[in-house]
Amino acid sequence: MVSGIKKLTADDSIRLDVFISNKIKSYTRSYFTNLISEGKVTVNGKIITKAGYKLSCGDEITVDIPEPQSDDTVAQDIPLDILYEDDDLIIINKPQGMVVHPAAGHSDGTLVNALLMHCGDNLSDINGVVRPGIVHRIDKDTSGVMMAVKNNETHVKISEMMSRHEIERVYRTVVYGIVSEEKGTIDAPIGRSNKDRRKMTVTTDGKPSVSHFEVISRYREGTDLKVVLETGRTHQIRAHMTYIGHPVLGDPLYASKRNAFGLEGQCLHSKSIRFIHPRSGEELYFESELPDYYVDLLNRLTPL
């Protein structure tokens, strides 16, 4: 782990965040984007807070990388459904209702608490002490396949693969209403809602977001879909489905006034993940069967 003051000299005309992440491989580009916004980076002695700042050849860059902070997140003996594990990564089948990492209102009982017990110190710390090993996440009430990583080298490589759309993530979801198209693509930028900061919404100044969907089955009460993520924004499927008028069935945030059909959260399941292992070069594929709550819901719906 690299920390402390790092001094670099630009050798090309390039974005500030791209240059730093190319030179310091121990962290992701998004990590440096956050450092820049926090005023931790100077160019020729001047604090720069825009990640897209264009450097000129010969510019002197100083990066203040903070020391890891201590945290009271504890290891807890919580059972994990492990689909795969090696020295670099671990694939988990997360149950519905499990929070991924500690946050307000969820100080323990999370996936991170379980990973700390199972993996000990063998987790990446790029995302800080509160989120060790977390390279991506799924929501509390979303079930299914999720990856965690055990070292910073793997964390950086997996993050880069995600940004290049080289990791295939497939979901299943039941949405309200009858989706008429057999398949389709939702290409609509997503950002945080100005009306409700808990929600994400399609907005012109949002981040590029692409979801591909295909109908599995139609029911009188809704439609069972397969969704393939091209990008991985917060609440992407939930926000995109709401945008096209078919919010995820049982969603307590985006469809709170609709019949939840007895569900305790949104009917959304991370079905599978496919990627090339960053160290071995082997193609890996892992799949999770539909959980009981999902199968039970399908059995209670009325086929068309």
Active site residue 71: no
Question: b/e map of 35-63 (b: 16 or more CB within 10 Å)?
Answer: bbeeebbebeeeebeebebebeeebebeb
- Is 221 strand, coil or helix? coil
Which residues sit opposite 202 in a β-bridge? Answer: 190
Instruction: Give the integer Cα–Cα distance in Å for 144 and 226.
Output: 14
In the set 139, 141, 224, 251, the catalytic residue is: 139
Handedness of CA 125, 130, 132, 137 (dihedral sign): negative
> Where on the phi/psi map is residue 117: left (φ > 0), alpha (ψ -120 to 50), or beta?
alpha
Q: How far is CA 158 from CA 28, 38, 147, 204, 271, in A?
A: 10, 25, 10, 28, 19
Cβ(156)–Cβ(126) under 8 Å?
Answer: yes
| φ, ψ of residue 218 in degrees (nearest 5) | -110, 140
Q: Which residues are catalytic?
A: 139
